[in-house]
């Protein structure tokens, strides 16, 4: 469903990449929320949490409801799935179907933050992982049933990274919230995050060094090609397999010597988690854990095929954000410093940023 990782270059600068997989393309938006934007988060039977953003936020957002002719989508209807703020803090929402359950009771007079608003709250108010962790220690958060998902209770967990390399996970498991420091700076989906860390103990044999020869009795075996070092990596697209592969690539990929090369390198890494339509198909009679979105149907008929709807890369030091949709092989670049002068929210649908690569024929003919 989703794969995320932090890549660090030769100077230990951080870059964050993630994919999002679903069985249907959603009405995603690119949204700029400026510093000074007023936000209100409301949970039933509790006072709202109101705040004004301190930092500019560039986000991939999703409407929380289906629009109607008389009630179109407004900025307040957008919920942050992925984002970067002008301090180099990132926030990511990833699928986690085991989130819902009985939550600890909270006094009715206590202001409560909806989990759907965690993204803008974190990115709009805080500049580091430490600040978000400290704020979460005193700010209650609750899951809510999401009409857009047919009433399913927020089936997600959340990842926050900052420019220092700090990373942590916010995870609701059967209604109980836990936070984890994330020493590998990798995240996928279920099982629980701490289970993924324990599972890495089974892969201590991994190395990026090829062992091209070995002797069996009097026979010397020799590899005819390079790449045998990766033969121990899980090959499946399950969240368990992707977590191990992401940890491997984050650890061993060559450390680029410039920020531009680092972004390109991370783009190559993320290609390993790009899934085209039809590679895996789940038939309805077999069950599955796909998110079903009210009012939207996939193109595959009765069979569900997950595909990489989009991939994003964040340059945490230079505050640059890159987006690639399924309909394009290239990334679109967004500069948060250049957006800082926009004092009001800016919102555009994804279709404005997707398409085929530029045609090089005319350039070549003019050479």
Sign of CA dihedral 223, 228, 231, 235: negative
pLDDT score recorded for residue 352? 84
Highest-pLDDT range among 175-189, 294-308, 331-345: 175-189
What's the number of CA atoms in the CB half-sphere (13 Å) around residue 302? 5
**Which residues span the domain enclosing 213?**
2-355
Mean pLDDT of 314-321: 98
Cα-to-chain-centroid distance, residue 146: 19
Mean pLDDT of 219-239: 94
Q: Measuring CA to CA, which residue among 51, 60, 79, 20 is closest to residue 310?
A: 20
pLDDT score recorded for residue 359? 66
pLDDT score recorded for residue 365? 60
More confidently predicted of 101 and 298:
101
Residue 47 lies in a domain: yes
Helices 239-252, 193-200: axis angle to 10 degrees equals: 60
> Poorest-confidence range of 30-39, 95-104, 236-245, 351-360?
351-360
Listed in sequence order, the residues at least 6 apart from 291 whose beta carbon sits closer than 8 Å to its beta carbon are 22, 23, 95, 149, 152, 155
Mean pLDDT of 41-68: 93
Residue 316 has pLDDT above 60, yes or no: yes
Highest-pLDDT range among 22-26, 63-67, 76-80, 299-303: 76-80
Mean pLDDT of 18-27: 92
Beta bridge partners of 236: none
Mean pLDDT of 233-258: 97
The tokens for 288 are 């599955």
Average pLDDT score over the chain:
91
Cα-to-chain-centroid distance, residue 207: 26
Residue 273 lies in a domain: yes
Highest-pLDDT range among 104-108, 155-159, 343-347: 155-159
Residue 281 lies in a domain: yes
DSSP assignment of 11-64 equals T--EEEEEEEEESS----EEEEE-TT-EEEE--TTS--EEEE-SS-EEEEEEES
> Poorest-confidence range of 126-140, 162-176, 342-356?
342-356
Q: What's the CA gap between 258 and 279, in Å, rounded?
A: 35
DSSP reduced 3-state for 196: helix
Q: What's the CA gap between 95 and 105, in Å, rounded?
A: 24
Q: Give the pLDDT band of residue 65 (cuts 50, 70, 90).
A: confident
Residue 287 lies in a domain: yes
Report the CATH number that the domain containing residue 281 is assigned in CATH. 3.60.60.10
DSSP reduced 3-state for 245: helix
Q: Give the pLDDT band of residue 256 (cuts 50, 70, 90).
A: very high
Phi-psi category of residue 66: left, alpha or beta, with phi > 0 → left and psi -120 to 50 → alpha: beta
Beta bridge partners of 177: 172
The total number of structural domains that make up the chain? 1
DSSP letter, residue 342: -
pLDDT score recorded for residue 245? 98
Residue 366 lies in a domain: no
Residue 365 lies in a domain: no
Mean pLDDT of 195-211: 96
Q: What's the CA gap between 62 and 25, in Å, rounded?
A: 11
Residue 18 has pLDDT above 70, yes or no: yes
Q: Measuring CA to CA, which residue among 69, 86, 79 is closest to residue 27?
A: 79
Mean pLDDT of 14-39: 95
Residue 346 lies in a domain: yes
Residue 128 lies in a domain: yes
What percent of the chain lies above the pLDDT cut of 70?
91
Residue 234 has pLDDT above 60, yes or no: yes
Q: How many CB atoms lie within 10 A of CB 9?
A: 21
Q: Measuring CA to CA, which residue among 52, 46, 49 is closest to residue 33?
A: 52
Predicted confidence (pLDDT) per residue in 264-310, tens digit: 999 999 999 999 999 988 876 666 555 655 545 555 444 688 999 99
Q: Give the pLDDT band of residue 364 (cuts 50, 70, 90).
A: very low
């Amino acid at each position: 469903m989703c794969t995320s990782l932090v890549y660090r270059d030769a100077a230990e600068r951080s870059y964050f990449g993630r994919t999002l997989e679903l069985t249907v393309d959603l009405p995603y938006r690119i949204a700029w929320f400026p510093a000074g934007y007023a936000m209100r988060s409301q949970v039933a039977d509790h006072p709202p949490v109101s705040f004004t953003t301190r930092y500019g936020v560039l986000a991939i957002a999703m409407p929380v409801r289906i629009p109607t002719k008389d009630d179109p989508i407004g900025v307040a209807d957008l919920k942050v799935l992925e984002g970067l703020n002008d301090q180099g803090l990132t926030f990511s929402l990833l699928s986690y179907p085991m989130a819902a359950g009985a939550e600890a009771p909270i006094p009715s007079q206590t202001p409560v933050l909806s989990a759907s608003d965690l993204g803008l709250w974190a990115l709009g108010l805080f500049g580091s992982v430490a600040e978000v962790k400290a704020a979460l220690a005193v700010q209650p958060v609750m899951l809510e049933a999401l009409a857009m998902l047919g009433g399913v209770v927020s089936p997600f967990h959340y990842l926050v990274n900052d420019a220092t390399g700090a990373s942590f996970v916010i995870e609701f498991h059967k209604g109980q919230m836990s936070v984890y420091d994330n020493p590998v700076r990798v995240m996928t989906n279920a099982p629980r995050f701490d289970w993924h860390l324990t599972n890495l103990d089974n892969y201590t044999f991994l190395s990026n060094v090829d062992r091209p020869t070995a002797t069996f009795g009097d026979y010397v075996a020799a590899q005819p090609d390079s790449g045998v070092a990766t033969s121990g990596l899980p090959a499946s697209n399950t969240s368990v397999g992707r977590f191990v592969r992401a940890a491997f690539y984050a650890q061993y990929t060559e450390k680029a010597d410039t920020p531009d090369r680092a972004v390109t390198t991370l783009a190559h890494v993320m290609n390993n988690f790009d899934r085209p339509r039809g590679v895996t198909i789940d038939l309805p009679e077999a069950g599955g854990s796909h998110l079903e979105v009210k009012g939207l149907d996939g193109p595959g008929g009765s069979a569900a095929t997950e595909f990489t709807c989009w991939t994003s890369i964040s340059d945490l030091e230079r505050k640059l954000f890159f987006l690639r949709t399924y309909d394009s092989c290239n990334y679109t670049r967004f500069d948060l410093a250049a957006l800082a002068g926009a004092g009001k929210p800016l919102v555009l649908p994804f279709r404005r940023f997707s398409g085929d690569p530029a045609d090089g024929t005319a350039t070549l003919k003019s050479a």
